[in-house]
Amino acid sequence: MPKIKEKEEILPKSFYITTLGCPKNTVDSMSMHQSLLKEGLLPANDPEASDFHLINTCTFIQDATKETIQTILDSIDLKKKNKQKLVVVGCFAERAGKEISDDLPEVDLHFGTGKYDQAGDILKKTFPLDFKEIKEFNEDILERLTLSNSIENYSKPYSYVKISDGCNRGCHFCIIPNLRGKFRDSSEESVLSDTRRAVAAGAKEIALVSQDTVFYGKDTDKLLQLIESVSEVEGLQILRLLYLYPDKKMERLLDLYGKIDKIAPYLESPLQHVSKSVLKSMNRTGEYSYFKSLFEKARSVKPGLEIRTSFILGFPGETTADVDEIIRFIQDVKPEKVNLFPYSPQEGTKGFDLEGKLKDKEISKRVNLVRDVYLEVLKDTHQSRIGKIYPAIVDEVTEEGAIVRRFQDAPEIDEVVFVEDRNLRVGQIGNVKVESFFELDMAGSWIA
């Protein structure tokens, strides 16, 4: 009697999301992740093992664009070896969709911003055969997969929660409004839901992110109410606020820093410059003395607070005197963390057509000059930390020891403290004593 061939089981297709750029993109990748799960796809552990490789792109500055393009090219080589479909998503796809279609035929699909939560439906309509016989997951399985470590935002003791998208500022150097559109608040209910889900997945720290956090609620107290509500979520131990535009509303926000213990002693406020004339040319507000008073208030309301800011060097029309103002500001105010960017002309921004452009060599010279000044200030800052004990969280444990982060440092972008103790647990909260420092990072010992 001939053997009856059993019907071959059709396994669900898998996906992997490569996230480039800032934490806001990480949150967008979370949204895609959940959308793909809802359509029956399963997360893969790495790009090589996936049927669909999605790249969530960044094109904020030239270096980010270069990284995006190189990642796509590398992924094309990967695609050829693994017979997978390559999907390019996000800011670069929004900006260069035609170029992707014309010059990168190996990319099977691309779509821009604002469609992250529709990713599953978009893939299903584009590649229907890959979804044909897949059964839907029940809600319990879907929730477990949503909270799994296969998504980047739920594999660490911290998590990002996005409170808005888009921006209305119109800074002349920034392409974001062209890519993300006008400012749009998320509802308080959705922010609280995302926070609770992340905490349930194991996050001890939540960082609220957006393109312009202080614009949430515009001129109302909606942002202050949101922060108070998030701080009350059970299980949350550290609340970090990122991307705070330095204006009058931030002054009111700082009052909460002194009232809510869970808010980290950390202020991230990108000034971009301190020269009044350059800021005006950038279509931004403020100037040296205002920023100094703002940072002084932050330090007074939250003892131990440290400041992260950023400056753009080489904006059209910037003079050496303007650069000297930044240098004086760093020496005077001593922000603990400084990011420096060479001005990157972005087509489609008002800054792109301004007169007084500087040569790349001159811009690099100015960046290096300010960096050298900052590093000298940082040495003194590090020296003042030696012997001090700080509340801290364990981010990672390796064979060599643990990577610990003070509450004064944001995940992924700021300094860490190396501790030679392999017995610590990821997510453990305690105290770390700083004992020495490198150029940026530190070494120390854990104190229970």
Please enumerate, by residue number, every residue annotated as part of a binding site. Answer: 22, 58, 91, 167, 171, 174
Please enumerate, by residue number, every residue annotated as part of a binding site for [4Fe-4S] cluster. Answer: 22, 58, 91, 167, 171, 174
Q: State residue 347's pLDDT score.
A: 86
Question: What gap in Å lies between CA 344 and CA 66, rounded to an integer?
Answer: 12
Structure tokens at 116: 């992250």
Residue by residue, DSSP assigns 212-272 as SGGGTTTTSSHHHHHHHHHHTSTT--EEEE-----SHHHHHHHHHHHH-TTB-SEEE---B
Q: State residue 143's pLDDT score.
A: 52
Name the 3-class secondary structure at 409: coil
Of 261, 258, 183, which Cα lies nearest the Cα of 222?
A: 183
Query: What's the pTM value of the predicted model, to 2 decimals?
Result: 0.85
∠ CA 322-325-330, rounded to 5°:
140
Residue 87 DSSP label: E
pLDDT digits (tens, 9 = 90+) for 216-265: 998 789 999 999 999 999 999 999 999 999 998 998 899 999 999 999 99
Residues of the chain predicted below pLDDT 50? 1, 4-9, 144-145, 147-150, 152-153
Name the 3-class secondary structure at 361: helix
Strand partners, 85: 52
Spatial neighbors of 24 by CB under 8 A, at least 6 apart, are: 160, 162, 165, 209, 210, 211
Strand partners, 211: none
Question: What gap in Å lies between CA 295 and CA 316, rounded to an integer?
Answer: 27
Question: How many residues comprise the chain?
Answer: 448
181: left (phi over 0), alpha (psi -120 to 50) or beta: left
Whether the Cβ atoms of residue 254 and residue 298 lie closer than 8 Å to each other: yes
Whether the Cβ atoms of residue 432 and residue 419 lie closer than 8 Å to each other: yes
Whether the Cβ atoms of residue 407 and residue 393 lie closer than 8 Å to each other: yes
Question: What gap in Å lies between CA 303 and CA 315, rounded to an integer?
Answer: 35
Whether the Cβ atoms of residue 171 and residue 283 lie closer than 8 Å to each other: yes
Question: What gap in Å lies between CA 242 and CA 212, rounded to an integer?
Answer: 9
User: Domains in the chain and their CATH numbers?
Assistant: 14-139 (3.40.50.12160), 144-384 (3.80.30.20), 389-447 (2.40.50.140)
Structure tokens at 346: 């972005």
Q: State residue 44's pLDDT score.
A: 87
